[in-house]
Amino acid sequence: MYLYLPVALTSINIFIPIGLGLAVGLLSGLFGVGGGFLMTPLLIMFGIPSTVAAATDSNQIVAASTSGTYAHWKVGNVDFKMGLYLLIGGFIGGLFGVQAIKVLRATGNADFVIKMTYVLMLGIVGTYMFIESLASMKKKKTEEVKTEKESIMGRFLKSLPLQTHFEKSGATHSLLIPIVFGGFVGILAAIMGVGGGFLMVPVMVYILRMPMHVVVGTSLFQILFNCIEVTFLQAYTNHNVDFILAVLLLLGSTVGAQVGAVFGRKLKGEQLKIILAVIVLLVTVKIIFELTLSPSIFLAQAGGH
Amino acid sequence: MAGQRIIGKKRSESTAFAVILFLSFLLIGVIALFFILINDAAAELTANVNHNHIKIDFFYHGSSVSVGGISEPDTDLIIKITSPEGHEVLKQKGKVAGLLWMNTGTLKFENVPNLYSVHSTKKIDELLYQEEMDKYAIGYPALEKHVEISPVSKEEEKNRWFNEFVKLKESSKLYMSSSGKITTTLKDGKQYYYILTDWPYQAPPGDYIVTVYAVKNRKITEKTDAKVQVEQVGIVKTLSNMAKKKGALYGVISIVAALIAGFGVGLIFRKGGGAH
């Protein structure tokens, strides 16, 4: 069954967006990522103009992350306080990031820099998470506690002012840490034109030392607010949000997020981390292939990556 | 007497003059009639589009348009369907650092129709002289001469990017060409032609022009045109207008709907999943 999309100006078989929504929503509920790095290219592949694909995806993530946050909140896995500081940082970082893009565009080689940053970030984050979670899965058996590594970095972080306790995360940090790292992710996300969930999750796990299940819920919570902002700006300034496409996507993604959250509870933190690492690495490989294989058409619509 | 004779001579002269005048008028009349008749025969070319008002509703998935009419016997026909010409800016892919494919710049295309489809009874280059094709922008090579691409430095570079452009348009069914799909039948000394073409759902709302050319001896002898109007209706029109004109409200509605859907599904799952 086909429906016509009034903003994308194209017709689509409704099972495609519902199916895509279900799959990407599942990833959201499981790992606390928005899934834009998968959804946007898939929508473009099915004939949606790139600008509409990105804008509509952010609208759809609002629904998926509401559904996911709700599911994680019910079992006490959302640290609202941490989420709030990350959001503040992310917001400030986003403002800097938008300026950074302008500077990059002025130098002329923006696309190259952006693509390279994206591939390197995905590759580094994926590899690190993979190795680390594999190591900690092995260590679990010998029950070794890794206190030595924390000492230098930990002492520095503990010496910062404005120390506060994050109850849900079970950690004490300076308020500056989530703000600064949230800001860092915000800058990169704005430059790369992605939501940044795949960067935020490792930051929370490895720098903020939050338990994986709380990371997923809290990440979804802050993605929700980011995507509300992005959806509004896209609708208001670029007129690129396709409501019908968003509804079809969210039919799948809201359900997928719930299923993902249920599955996530059955998996251990290390297992979640290692699966996410594999997905991030697969996406990296896919992008590297795209970059090296010669395209079938050498022209593309303006506006996408 | 002499005066009368003169008058008589004058009279006979004037009669002769009148006769000549009459004959020449007659001749002009006959010639004119001949031309009118010829023109009449030439003006036989007609074009009718059966489905000339395409409505894009919620369930629209493209349409089909048939073009038919009458032409002089033994003429070949070319049917061209285009949108008004406009300009397009596209991203150009190229190799960076000798290894990686990425967007290396933008190309501007001027005087290009968004939709361009040409159907003919035989292959166009067998039907027409090159000058004729160029004059009426029939066929990709003629369209290429008509289109301006910038920045390109050499003719071969223009050719390369124009071919890429056609590939991109053909991939979304907006550019099309066929030969031999037009059927013709002779009846009562007239030739009836007919073609049924697919109308792509990728073609945006707007006015499109169908031009029918009659061809004889590798030249275009006549042309006539008809219009196809594509319009959004109902929910599609309402949403599309709102997205364009009331961006803020549209954004808020989209966000609220997403929030409600997210919560709604969450609540359903709490009830459904309570048993676990």
The phi, psi pair for A77, rounded to 5°, reads -110, 25
The answer as to whether B267 is a domain residue is no
Q: Which pLDDT does position A305 carry in this prediction?
A: 40
Residues B150 and B56 in one domain: yes
Q: Kindly list the residues from chain A whose CB atom is less than 8 angstroms away from the CB atom of residue B56.
A: 4
Alpha carbon of B115: minimum distance to chain A alpha carbons (Å): 14
The amino acid at residue B244 is: K
Low-confidence spans in chain B with pLDDT less than 70: 1-11, 32-43, 271-276
- Nearest Cα residue to A291 out of A133, A167, A115: A115
What sign for the dihedral angle of Cα B194, B200, B203, B205?
positive
Q: Out of A111, A231, A257, whose CB is closest to B254?
A: A231
Residues B228 and B183 in one domain: yes
Q: Kindly list the residues from chain A whose CB atom is less than 8 angstroms away from the CB atom of residue B99.
A: 292
| Cβ separation B248–A235 shorter than 8 A | yes
Alpha carbon of B255: minimum distance to chain A alpha carbons (Å): 6
* Token pair 């071969």 in the structure block, residue: B156
Residues B95 and B228 in one domain: yes
Residues B94 and B186 in one domain: yes
CA distance A292 to A281: 17
Q: Out of A235, A250, A305, whose CB is closest to B247?
A: A235
- Contact between B102 and A291 under an 8 Å Cβ cutoff? The reply is yes
Token code pair at residue A225: 């607010």
The DSSP string of B198-256 is EEPTTSPSEEEEEEEEEEETTEEEEEEEEEEEEEE-HHHHHHHHHHHH-HHHHHHHHHH
DSSP B158: H
CA distance B203 to B114: 8
Interface probe, candidates B265, B267, B268, B270, chain A, greatest A C-beta count within 10 A: B265
Alpha carbon of B234: minimum distance to chain A alpha carbons (Å): 11
| Cβ separation B258–A115 shorter than 8 A | no
Residues B82 and B24 in one domain: no
Interface probe, candidates B149, B173, B250, B255, chain A, greatest A C-beta count within 10 A: B255
- Contact between B230 and B84 under an 8 Å Cβ cutoff? The reply is no
Establish, for the pair of chains A and B, how many residue pairs have beta carbons separated by less than 8 Å. 183
Q: At what angle do helices A110-142 and A269-292 cross, to 10 degrees?
A: 150
Residues B62 and B31 in one domain: no
Token code pair at residue A145: 């506690």
Q: Which domain holds residue B92?
A: 48-235
Residues B93 and B227 in one domain: yes
- Residues making up chain A, counted from first to last: 305
Whether A46 and chain B come into contact, CB under 8 Å, resolves to no
Q: Kindly list the residues from chain A whose CB atom is less than 8 angstroms away from the CB atom of residue B93.
A: 295, 298-300
Element (H, E) at B62: none
- Nearest Cα residue to B48 out of B210, B222, B206, B182: B210
CA distance B90 to A303: 9
Residues B86 and B163 in one domain: yes
Residues B81 and B156 in one domain: yes
Residues B158 and B26 in one domain: no
A44 CB-side CA count, 13 A: 16
Q: Verify cis geometry, omega within 30 degrees of 0, for the bond prior to B151.
A: yes
Q: Kindly list the residues from chain A whose CB atom is less than 8 angstroms away from the CB atom of residue B60.
A: 2, 4, 11
- Which residues 72-131 of A have a C-beta within 8 angstroms of B? 74, 111-112, 115
| Cβ separation A7–B240 shorter than 8 A | yes
A14-64 residue pLDDT tens: 999 999 999 999 999 898 888 888 898 899 888 898 888 988 999 999 999
CA distance B243 to A27: 30
The answer as to whether B257 is a domain residue is no
The answer as to whether B227 is a domain residue is yes
The answer as to whether B265 is a domain residue is no
The answer as to whether B165 is a domain residue is yes
**Residue of chain B whose alpha carbon sits nearest to that of A13:** B61
Whether A45 and chain B come into contact, CB under 8 Å, resolves to no
The amino acid at residue B215 is: V
Alpha carbon of B73: minimum distance to chain A alpha carbons (Å): 41
Quick one: CA torsion of A98, A99, A105, A109, rounded to 10 degrees? -90
**Residue of chain A whose alpha carbon sits nearest to that of B249:** A236
CA distance A219 to A196: 10
Q: Tally Cβ neighbours within 10 Å of residue A137.
A: 15
Residues B17 and B112 in one domain: no
- Which residues 188-217 of A have a C-beta within 8 angstroms of B? none
The DSSP string of A232-269 is HHIIIII----HHHHHHHHHHHHHHHHHHHHHHHHS-H
Residues B56 and B1 in one domain: no
Write down the H helix ranges in chain A: 15-31, 36-45, 50-74, 80-107, 110-142, 150-159, 176-192, 197-202, 212-233, 243-266, 269-292
Q: Kindly list the residues from chain B whose CB atom is less than 8 angstroms away from the CB atom of residue A294.
A: 101
The answer as to whether B67 is a domain residue is yes
The phi, psi pair for A165, rounded to 5°, reads -95, 130
Q: What is the mean pLDDT of each run of 10 residues along chain A (305 residues)?
A: 92 95 92 86 87 90 94 91 91 85 74 82 90 83 52 71 80 86 86 80 87 91 90 88 95 94 87 90 88 83 57
Q: Kindly list the residues from chain B whose CB atom is less than 8 angstroms away from the CB atom of residue A108.
A: none
| Cβ separation B254–A246 shorter than 8 A | yes
| Structural domains in chain B (count) | 2
Angle at A71 between CA A65 and CA A75, to 5 degrees: 135
| Cβ separation A250–B258 shorter than 8 A | yes
| Cβ separation A64–B262 shorter than 8 A | yes
- Contact between B81 and B210 under an 8 Å Cβ cutoff? The reply is yes
| Cβ separation B201–A11 shorter than 8 A | yes
Report CA B183 to chain centroid distance, whole Å: 19
